[in-house]
Amino acid sequence: MSNQIKTVIFDLDGTLVDTIEDIRGALNAALESFGKTPVTRDQIMGMIGGGVDDMLYEAIGESPIVFGDFKSQYRQYYRANIDKFTQPYVGIKPLLQALHAANVKMAVLTNKQTDPAKRLVDLFGFSTYFEIVAGPEYYGVHKPDPAGLIQMMTDLGATPESTVFIGDSEPDVQVAAAAGVRCVAVGYGYREASVLAGLNPWRLVMDVAALHVLLVETSLD
């Protein structure tokens, strides 16, 4: 049927897994190594979504820190501590299992680099569910540039009409709109629900339980 959800593409951080404290720990370790003030949880929540470089540039501001050195410090710490606090959101694995059982194709499109994204997907036993896990270097663009999402759908044999994109931040809603794909914005991630609602996603849900009902039991009417 034309109104079935046949493909679901997920963002990663703030959508499938809560990575905020491990990212904050790595960023603060880098900041402190250069004599800078650490950031709070609230501060970093507003910095995530556009990719690691955007976050790091915002963190150092006008400081004369050499960006490459700062990024190297951040990446070294994060790679060594990627799963210290990170966990999937409650209900994510049953959701993936249900979609898999319904023969829905799934993939991850994230602004996180592909290697750490795959590490987390593997760590939590999700790799069997996703045909593709792609960071920005995979297709050569960051969200909200739609070229990556469009190519991913081609690689999956999917169409915009039967695809849903799930994400928690502005680039997620924007990339879906630019690619002609319905977007479900999740209010349990790293953006306020009011911010997401202002971007006019197809649907806005506030927890994984509601996301499960929407994806498993709802058509695209």
Write the DSSP string, 35-56: TPPPPPHHHHHTT-SS-HHHHH
- pLDDT, position 3: 66
Read out DSSP for 163-204? EEEEESSHHHHHHHHHHT-EEEEETTSSS-HHHHHTT--SEE
Six-digit token string for 181: 């794909």
Question: Is 110 part of a structural domain of the chain?
Answer: yes
DSSP state of 71: H
Last residue of a domain, one of 45, 80, 115: 80
Summarize pLDDT for 74-86 with one digit per residue, the tens.
999 999 999 999 9
Q: Indicate if the pLDDT at residue 2 is higher than 90.
A: no
Q: pTM value?
A: 0.93
The amino acid present at 81, given as its one-letter code, is: N
Based on the domain organization, do 76 and 112 belong to the same domain? no
Parent domain of 43: 20-80
What residues act catalytically? Answer: 11
106 and 203 housed in the same domain: yes
